Amino acid sequence: MNERELFRQVALNFAMGAALGAVFVTSLLVLNVQNIADVILRSASPAITMVILVIGGSVYFAFGAAITGFQFVFMEENRSRDDRR
């Protein structure tokens, strides 16, 4: 696998993780788990706080998915090299 394909795979995992993270944090806000939405709505700047929370959770999930995806691609590449020997 060349560097371009590796980058495409990692970027795809990053985007997938970001989307899942945004859905997860948004669902926490909609379901008002542990009254988090109420706390945010009572803050001084609720819109910015929600945006930061969603983006932060999204980036957290995205980096985790990208690192995991890279590890899977790397392991698969090594396994296919060992099989060719």
Kindly report, residue by residue over 24-76, the tens digit of the pLDDT: 999 999 999 999 999 999 999 999 999 999 999 999 999 999 999 999 998 98
User: How many other C-beta atoms are found inside a 10 Å radius of the C-beta of residue 46?
Assistant: 13
User: Does 33 or 79 have the greater pLDDT score?
Assistant: 33
- Which pLDDT does position 2 carry in this prediction? 86
pTM of the model: 0.85
Q: Which of 65, 61, 50 is nearest to 24 (CA)?
A: 61
- Which pLDDT does position 34 carry in this prediction? 93
User: Does 83 or 62 have the greater pLDDT score?
Assistant: 62
DSSP, collapsed to helix, strand or coil, labels residue 45 as: coil
- Which pLDDT does position 85 carry in this prediction? 67
Length of the chain: 85
Q: Is the pLDDT assigned to residue 12 strictly greater than 80?
A: yes
Where b means 16+ CB within 10 Å and e means fewer, 48-78 reads eebeebbeebbeebbeebbeebbeebeeeee
Contact of 20 with 67, CB cutoff 8 Å? no
